[in-house]
Structure 1
Amino acid sequence: MRKLVFLVSVISLVMGSCGTKKKIAALEAQNKEIQDLLNSCTVKLNACLTEKEAMANQNEFLKKNNTDLINNMGNMTTLTTQGAQNIEKALETIKEKDLKISRMQDALTKKDSVTLALVTSLKREVGIDDPDININVEKGVVMISIADNLLFKSGSYDVSDRAKGVLAKVAKVVNSKPDFECMVEGHTDNVPIKNTVLLDNWDLSVKRATSIVRVLHNDLGVNPKQLIPAGRSYYIPLVENDTPENRAKNRRTRIIIMPKIDQFYEMIEKEMKKQQ
């Protein structure tokens, strides 16, 4: 009987032990499944946290970028306004310069008209048929070129009587233009000259210029304030001094009739004031 009870007890214990192992195995399997699920959730959570941080950083970047854009828009508005003002100022400056140029051109046109009228008057008074007298316009001034043989004897600076007749006609025109200046230039050839009176060609050209100036002033009543004598020697020839004919062309006196510089500028200023 005792053996039977012991055997039953052992069988019960063995069977109970097998049931516990099964439960433990099941619990372990369930625990592993839960652990795997927990690990998976942890990974997903970490991924979500990382994405959240990235999104937060991106959000901050977008906020800053938006602020910068707003500021830049303000700056661009300022720059656009300044640019428009600068363009407007530049256009005004160009307009003013164009107006000044237009006024100066008007003044120059008036000056050219006066010069043309002066040339016409001189050609009418002096005559254009004489080959020893040439009247033209160069660089906006009237040039009267008179050959040496019409004015002086060779090597002399005494004005001939024939020349005084021509100079009287020139003086008439100069006297009609008191706001003009009259420069008298003496020119020689390159043949050296030296005597007890003349040192060189410079001396001869200057003395010839002053002789004509004295005739214009003393004999013909030209205002001395309008007269300018100048000696150019042989340094501005018309042609090469290589033949007697060419040297004769270079021996000449040139009378330049031109508006006074200060009065010319006054003419421009008056024209500019009229346009204002």
Structure 2
Amino acid sequence: MKILRLPVALLAIVLASSCVSTKKYTALQTNYDSLQAKHKDLNIRFLNSQQDLANANTRAKSLEDQIAGERSNMRALQAALDKCLTSSNQGNTNISKLVDEINSSNKYIQQLIASKNKSDSLNMVLTNNLTRSLSREEMKDVDVQVLKGVVYISLSDNMLYKSGSYEISDKAGETLSKIAKIITDYKDYDVLVEGNTDNVPIAKPNIRNNWDLSALRASSVVQALQNNYNVDPKRLTAGGRGEFNPIANNDTEAGKIKNRRTQIIITPKLDQFMDLINKAPDKK
């Protein structure tokens, strides 16, 4: 049996090629891990956006159903009126009553449409007012939703906290500074920080259950806003809802990720709310 002997120069080339391939592999692996982390973050934002869109569609569908129901009632009244007009046995009194009912139904439909337009306009005013301190670039990292005059900012746990902890992570500072801009821009608004978890029991010796974890996380955010960004503590409230306020199914990992969140809820007082209503433009 012959033993193949590689020339020394060829062996050196093979070894060198192997070394370069290892370095390239390490670099590619690092890049892959980074892309995976970005993909996970984008997936969380996508799931949050999907839920917000579903909620908005539900509210719009409810108003549309009311409008459709009133229009159907109006058509029935109109048909009854037509029948009265073609029948010689119907008196003028019944005809006049039907006309009044049709006019009343039409007026209610217009009120429903105006109410929906007013709500849309109010939400736009609140969003513009509360985010005017943020630049276009900053708005990419802070998602602000307005529902029925209340501002909701929802942040996932891996964006704010160290893994399995209630301590604020170093990377959360930039995000909280942007949220603090929104809060301080309207200094008289009340702010509720609300912690939420999935249904997996916590296994930490100093934390009894998910109630504790959610409340401690909310308290950490409140103290960060007060101590690091000078938000008036009199405006702040910290609360925990544990696992009992889910927005997704805890049977899937994606659902658990959505449920592990902290909501910052900014609420105008009644007099400020009425002032915003007056600012909302009428749509015609």
Normalised to the residue count of structure 1, the TM-score between the two structures is 0.52
Judge conservation of contact 1:171–1:220 (CA < 8 Å) in 2: yes
Q: Residue in 1 aligned with 2:197? A: 188
1: distance between equivalents of 2:206 and 2:164? 11
Q: Residue in 2 aligned with 1:230? A: 239
2: distance between equivalents of 1:221 and 1:155? 27
Matches within 5 A, 1:218-257: 218-257=227-266
2: distance between equivalents of 1:195 and 1:123? 38
How many residue pairs get aligned? The number is 165
Match of 1:115 among 126, 150, 154: 126
Structure 1 residues 251 and 137, CA gap change in structure 2 (3 angstroms) = same
Q: Residue in 2 aligned with 1:140? A: 149
- Give 5+ residue unaligned stretches, structure 2: 1-114, 280-284
Judge conservation of contact 1:206–1:232 (CA < 8 Å) in 2: yes
What is the deviation of 1:128? 4.6
Larger helix fraction of residues? 1
Structure 1 residues 219 and 126, CA gap change in structure 2 (3 angstroms) = farther
1: distance between equivalents of 2:208 and 2:165? 13
Task: Give the aligned CA root-mean-square deviation in angstroms.
Answer: 3.1
Q: Residue in 1 aligned with 2:163? A: 154
Matched, 1:260 2:280: no
2: distance between equivalents of 1:110 and 1:181? 22
1: distance between equivalents of 2:136 and 2:182? 8
Q: Tell me which amino acid in the other structure corresponds to 2:238.
A: P
Structure 2 SS opposite 1:217:
helix
- Give 5+ residue unaligned stretches, structure 1: 1-103, 272-276
What is the deviation of 1:199? 0.8
Q: Tell me which amino acid in the other structure corresponds to 2:224.
A: V
Q: Tell me which amino acid in the other structure corresponds to 2:148.
A: K
Q: Residue in 2 aligned with 1:88? A: none
Judge conservation of contact 1:184–1:209 (CA < 8 Å) in 2: yes
Structure 1 residues 125 and 118, CA gap change in structure 2 (3 angstroms) = farther
What is the deviation of 1:172? 1.3
2: distance between equivalents of 1:125 and 1:159? 26
Structure 1 SS opposite 2:143:
strand
What is the deviation of 1:237? 1.1
What is the deviation of 1:116? 2.4
Deviations 1:57-98 (A, max 9, x none): xxxxxxxxxxxxxxxxxxxxxxxxxxxxxxxxxxxxxxxxxx
Judge conservation of contact 1:125–1:169 (CA < 8 Å) in 2: no
What is the deviation of 1:249? 1.4
Match of 1:205 among 214, 234, 245: 214
Judge conservation of contact 2:123–2:148 (CA < 8 Å) in 1: no
Judge conservation of contact 1:206–1:229 (CA < 8 Å) in 2: yes
Q: Residue in 2 aligned with 1:168? A: 177
Structure 1 residues 199 and 125, CA gap change in structure 2 (3 angstroms) = farther
What is the deviation of 1:169? 0.8
Structure 1 residues 173 and 134, CA gap change in structure 2 (3 angstroms) = closer
What is the deviation of 1:138? 1.7
What is the deviation of 1:223? 0.8
What is the deviation of 1:247? 0.8
Higher CA-based Rg: 1
Q: Tell me which amino acid in the other structure corresponds to 2:127.
A: L
Judge conservation of contact 2:155–2:262 (CA < 8 Å) in 1: yes
Normalised to the residue count of structure 2, the TM-score between the two structures is 0.51
Q: Tell me which amino acid in the other structure corresponds to 1:230.
A: G
1: distance between equivalents of 2:144 and 2:124? 16
Moved over 2 A (4+): 107-114, 118-130, 260-265
Judge conservation of contact 1:123–1:135 (CA < 8 Å) in 2: no
Q: Residue in 2 aligned with 1:65? A: none
What is the deviation of 1:251? 0.5
Judge conservation of contact 1:122–1:170 (CA < 8 Å) in 2: no
1: distance between equivalents of 2:187 and 2:227? 17
Judge conservation of contact 2:149–2:273 (CA < 8 Å) in 1: no
2: distance between equivalents of 1:248 and 1:172? 27
